[in-house]
Amino acid sequence: MRSLIDILDLTTEEIDGLIETAADIAANPAKYAEVCKGKKLATLFFEPSTRTRLSFEAAMYELGGNVLGFSEPGGSSTAKGESVSDTVRTVSCYADIIAMRHPKEGAPLVASMKASVPIINAGDGGHNHPTQTLTDLFTIMNEKGRFDNLTVGLCGDLKFGRTVHSLIGALSRYANVHFVLISPNELMLPEYMKSEVLEKKGLSYEETTDLEAVMPKLDILYMTRVQRERFFNEADYIRLKDSYILTTKKLENAKQDLTIMHPLPRVNEISVEVDDDPRACYFKQVLNGKYIRMALIMKLLGLKAEV
């Protein structure tokens, strides 16, 4: 029995396999409509995340399975003071697989050590969110057809952005990926990510505060939100926020086949005028997220579509 807690729990071959399945699901949904018939997914959301929960639930329904679960309102972190271990032991009796989101880091790992069914980490605080990373990888493969020989721009809050950290970790396993780290000085990639991931693996990267200057070289532009509360004072925020908002003007010198990504939800970091640009892939990412979660549920339950 396997769980998915960290994206690096999966080998690159396994990721390739999931992407292959997800692509086949997208092309032939009918083939998969009853793969999970009679199976139940429990969504245990100890903190709310409507998007992620809907994606998991839609994924299970489209596989012909059923869904049960709960979502705690913000603030209260444990279901009536019960431990994570006890909760998952109980739910293991009702469900065949569990998708779990928790505000505390490491909670899904604790769950996986105690549960008798597979656990999918649907986000644990600022720590891991592997199905988001799988979604990002699936999108990159769809758009680019490869994971190697890419120049990947990561823009916005690189200090606290866990999706960025996970994506760097996942892409660090492929050859000739060059990272362009674009952020205000206050929100640069943490030192340990540079020394323990990028430099340790001998990956090439550059840091800049200027999005427009590096735009022409990018194959992928991954935007993240620059949150107001990350700044020490309002003046800095006002001064800097516009530099990291993507507009059609800033895209003038971009490659014709640039792939623009964003984990969503966005606030204002991508101007709505960019939505109609064929290079904008962030809404496709949402759909991709459902397909890759379907592939993952099948894999962890050991199910295959009948041919």
C-alpha–C-alpha distance, residues 64 and 35, integer Å? 6
C-alpha–C-alpha distance, residues 249 and 282, integer Å? 19
Residues sharing a CB contact under 8 Å with residue 144, sequence separation 6 or more, in sequence order: 150, 219, 220, 259
With H, G, I as helix, E, B as strand and everything else as coil, classify residue 131: helix
Binding status of residue 78 toward another protein by CB under 8 A: yes
From 51, 104, 230, 255, residue interacting with another protein (rule: CB under 8 A): 104
**Number of residues near another protein (by CB under 8 A):** 19
User: Token pair of 280, please?
Assistant: 């904008």
Q: Answer whether 226's CB lies under 8 Å from 157's CB.
A: yes
Nearer to another protein, 114 or 279 (CB): 114
Q: Which stretch binds another protein (CB under 8 A): 97-105, 176-184, 220-228, 250-258?
A: 97-105
Minimum gap (Å) between residue 153 Cβ and another protein? 26
Binding status of residue 83 toward another protein by CB under 8 A: yes
C-alpha–C-alpha distance, residues 182 and 155, integer Å? 5
Q: Which stretch binds another protein (CB under 8 A): 62-70, 103-111, 219-227, 241-249?
A: 103-111
From 71, 77, 172, 227, residue interacting with another protein (rule: CB under 8 A): 77
Number of C-alpha atoms within 13 angstroms, CB side, residue 231?
A: 17
Minimum gap (Å) between residue 46 Cβ and another protein? 10
From 39, 101, 127, 162, residue interacting with another protein (rule: CB under 8 A): 127
Nearer to another protein, 38 or 81 (CB): 81
From 20, 34, 105, 242, residue interacting with another protein (rule: CB under 8 A): 105
From 102, 194, 262, 293, residue interacting with another protein (rule: CB under 8 A): 102
Residue list 107-126, contact with another protein (CB under 8 A): 107, 109-110, 124-126
Minimum gap (Å) between residue 190 Cβ and another protein? 11
Q: What is the largest CA-CA distance in the chain?
A: 60
Nearer to another protein, 130 or 153 (CB): 130
- Report residue 269: phi and psi, to 5°: -75, -15
Nearer to another protein, 107 or 140 (CB): 107
Q: Answer whether 140's CB lies under 8 Å from 259's CB.
A: yes
With H, G, I as helix, E, B as strand and everything else as coil, classify residue 188: coil
Closest CA to 214 of 185, 246, 170: 246
Residue numbers of the site for another protein (CB under 8 A)? Answer: 77-78, 83-85, 102-107, 109-110, 124-127, 192, 196
